[in-house]
Structure formats: C-alpha cells, structure tokens
Amino acid sequence: MTHFFIRPVRQSDLESLLEFVNSVPDSLATVPQDRTRLEERIDASLRSFIPRIKNPGSEHYLFVLEERNTGQIAGISGLIGRVGGFDPFYTYEIRTERITHKPMGIDKTIQFLYLKADHKGPSEIGSLLLNPAYRGDGLGRLLSLCRFLFMKRFPERFDQQVVAELRGHIDEEDQSPFWEAVGRPFFEVNFYEADMQCAMGDKDFIRDLMPAHPIYIPLLPSAVREIIGKVHKRSEPARRLLLQEGFTGTDEIDIFDAGPLMRAERENIRTIRQCKTAIVSRLMEETEEEYDRILSNRSLDFRACYGFLEEDADGSVALPESLAFLLRVNPGDSIDYVRVRDRPGERASP
C-alpha cells in the first residue's frame, strides 16, 4: 500500500491504461475499452488540468493509481467539474402523485419517474476502478478520497454541490432489468452501448427517444420495481464510504440502470472539512508507524498517497524522505493531509 500513489493520467499511459481496463472484470462507460475513445478520454483530462480554469465547467479529471516500483497502473478515478451545460445531465426523479376517489374510499400516492435534464448541474465523482488483486488493501479508499483533496485545493474548479452516480443492479446475465423494461423498448441498442454513447457525450438520443411522459412505477414488473435505487453488489463498499464522507441519498436515479444518485455539499464532505494544510519543515528517517493519513501536494501536477507525518508545535510537519519523493515536495513546500478515517467519537458529518 505504501508503494502506491495517485497522479493525473498522462498521454504515455495509453497502452498501460488500455491493458488495465481490458483486464479487469468490471467495465466503465466513462473509461472505454476502445483505443480511440480511451485516447480521447485521456486528451480531455489533459486539457482539464490547464492552469487558467477559474470556474467549474465540463472538465473531466482522470487520476491513476501507480505502483512506484513497477510503474504499473492499478486503478483509476475521476472528477467532473460540472455536469450539464451543452450536454444536459439526465436523471430520473422519483416523484409522487396523490389520487383520490371518495365513493370508493381511495386516497393514495403513486410514484412515477420524471425525466429531469439539468443544464447547470453539480460536480460529479466517478470512473473509479481498481484491480481486483488489490481490493482489501485500502487502495479503493485512496482512489476515492484523493479526489476530495484535489477539490479542497482547487475549489474554484468545482461546484458547491457534489454528486455520485452508483452503479445499479445487473442480473446474472450481465443485463440491466431496468434498461430492458424502460429503455430497450425505445432504443435498438443494449444497455452498455447506450451507456457508452452517453458517457462519450452523445446525448441527443436521450432527448429524442426517451419517453417524454412520466413512467408510473406500479406499471413496471415487480422485479424492476424492486431494484429501483438499489446499488450493484460490487458498489456497496463505495456507497458505505460515501455515507461516511457525508453524502446522502436522493430521489434521483440513473436513467440506464436505476442506480442511486448520492449528493453532498462540498464543504460538508468529511475529507474536505477535516483536511489540514501545513508547511513541510524537515524530512525525517523512515518510520514503522502506521500510515494513517492521506497526504497530497498542492500542485496541478497532483500527487497523493497514504503516509505518516509528525506535527510540530509551530504547525509545520515532518515527512519521511520517501513520501516527500512520492509527493514531489521539499522542505518549505506545503501539503494537505487528512486522516483516513474518523477516530472513535468523531463524526463524519457536521
């Protein structure tokens, strides 16, 4: 775990990243397995890190988890400055309608799905994928939380609201029951093709083909009703982590697989709220102490890793030389750092 660090994706990562995304069992529409589309995704990330950005826009930041000794890519995660804009951010909002009929003694509420298009939406976290060989080592947490340290350092690049779309239920045949019931009748493509097309920015088909009228949930098959807003079993750890960070559930779901949309105020996210900034006063010898913090530099050439530090009385910190090397910092530079988890008795949200 101590040999891994986070950095922005590079153009030179194309071959390694292509090998990585084609070798893991999970797939992400936002990180395509096609060479041309993946190269476009890397180019979009490179453009996002230019210094002159002062307001959140459609920037897609992509980070990789690199093994220090081998240069191997073991994971990826991403951020979007703001969803919406020229390409709307589509979700289904679960709404209710009251129906009454006194002669029959009926007074009840009915839920329905309303297609919502947001043209000036929140920031979004996503594109998290970790090599299964490294699950259980805390590297998924590093991939997730490092994004909040980047947001803390560059708040002007992100909206006050942050959302996360979690993957919805997929059946044993690797199909989305929700898509088959709600989307497939209007499209001549499967779930993954539609999701990929949307992820690459081609959303006109949603506007033109998605049902324009509300979809009443009681009319859907029971097997579909039961999975609305339910998370994929492999995304359950991500849901728990986001809850610990202060995210909450919403009444919105993904339009393709009905996965839940979670939301948080940026400044209320635990990692951002508890993050500290300090000057590195000195370097110290390596230590056997537990690496209980996530550390990052304060540069657009972003670096983050697990680590240990000593806090001095004057507010400065001391770092082991190996961590300073990973973060590309020297004495006199500043770093951000936060505990990996709350201590007993500390709260994840205000």
Query: Which residues are catalytic, by number?
Result: 232
**Bridge partner list, 337:** 276, 295
> In three state form, how does the secondary structure of the chain look?
CCCEEEEECCHHHHHHHHHHHHHCCCCECCECCCHHHHHHHHHHHHHHCCCCCCCCCCCEEEEEEEECCCCCEEEEEEEECCCEEEEEEEEEEEEEEEEEEHHHCEEEEEEEEEEEEEEECCEEEEEEEECHHHCCCCHHHHHHHHHHHHHHHCHHHCCCEEEEECCECCCCCCCCHHHHHHHHHHCCCCHHHHHHHHHCCCCHHHHHHCCCCCEEHHHCCHHHHCCCCCECHHHHHHHHHHHHCCCEEEEEECCCCCCEEEEEEHHHCHHHHHCEEEEEEEEECCCCCCCCEEEECCCCCCCEEEECCEECCCCCEEEEHHHHHHHCCCCCCEEEEEECCCCCCCCCCC
C-alpha distances out from residue 54 to 57, 84, 121, 288, Å: 9, 18, 17, 41
* Matching residue, tokens 């979004």: 124
